Amino acid sequence: MGSVRWAFRCGSWTPTRSEWLRAARCVQREEKDRIGQFVFAGDAKAAMAGRLLMRKLVCERTGVAWSDVQLGRSPRGKPYLAPTLGREALGWSFNVSHQGEYAVLAAEQGLQVGVDVMKTTMPGSSSVSEFFRIMTRQFTEYEWSVIQSSGSERQQLAAFYRHWALKESFIKAIGTGLGFNLQRAEFHLSPQPITEGQVQRQTMMHLDEEEEDTWMFEESLLDADHHVAVALGLHSQPLAGQPPSPWAPPPTAFSHLTFNDLIALATPLTEEDPAYWDSFQSKAEAPERQSSRTPPE
């Protein structure tokens, strides 16, 4: 069995021409084209990092050659491995997320997995109270009581994004997308504070008002502003050829990767395309209206 937790700080990544063209050559052509269609450079960098993280995982943990890795997406957008890669590769479940400064990947052998990262930021165009009013339906009455009793505005926002990451990690693990009623999953947070470099597993989920014991949630901080949640669940039916997994594999902290780490095993899949760099250079990093303000302490 195995666990992988990787984080790449794509927000502060300022790729050189050679890095961007190298990255573009090392993803599938259709993914390169899709990434090239992003309007903003920040979104393109995050998407590129996500694809490189997935390919690195498959090569490093299964021994499949980079050129043989075929990634697809389910109708609901969840990435998966082509079934031709063999039983060993199919034993891995993986998921990626990107928000704020980071792209992250979580993977497990023998378990369902979903991951979500959220940055604690001020709402872009409204007060905190108005932002919470708009988001009322996303959380239960109990969860709102926890969020709004957390202290300062920053602490309330941190609690909000912590709950949001937990819900998203679960939804991504089960692959239901927007059709899931978020109020069905209610989270009861660990009384212990989340700290950088430590993995917490005390948070519990109530599903349809019943405590759920077939799911486990890991929480940690990548830095002071970025909370990440990993949902781990038992498969309803064991994967073919996989032995029963221990329900509590040792917790794994996120490792921070460099660009060189991302492409250490990479081999080019397409020819170099100089126009791809020209297009990337012409993009703004993010929308002007997008707020990156961090709440005051």
Q: What is the pLDDT of residue 124?
A: 78
Whether the pLDDT of residue 245 is over 80: the answer is: no
Residue 239 domain-assigned (yes or no): no
Look up the CATH number of the domain holding residue 124. Answer: 3.90.470.20
Do 157 and 251 belong together in one domain?
Answer: no
Largest CA distance in the chain: 56
- How would you classify the pairing of strands 204-207 and 111-119? unpaired
HSE value, Cβ hemisphere, 13 Å, CA-based, for 91: 16
Return contacts of 87-94, CB within 8 angstroms, 24+ apart: 87/240, 87/241, 88/62, 88/63, 89/58, 89/62, 89/64, 90/239, 90/240, 91/239, 91/241, 91/242, 92/2, 92/57, 92/58, 92/61, 92/62, 94/4, 94/54, 94/57
- Domain check: are 79 and 121 in the same one? no
Position 76 scores a pLDDT of 65
Q: What pLDDT was estimated at residue 197?
A: 82
pTM of the model as a whole:
0.90
Confidence of residue 85 (pLDDT cuts 50, 70, 90): low
Name the pLDDT band for 179 (thresholds 50, 70, 90).
confident
pLDDT value at residue 237:
52
| Total domains present in the chain | 2
Q: How confident is the model over 249-258, as a mean pLDDT?
A: 92
Which residue range is the domain that position 201 belongs to? 111-234
Within a domain: 241? no
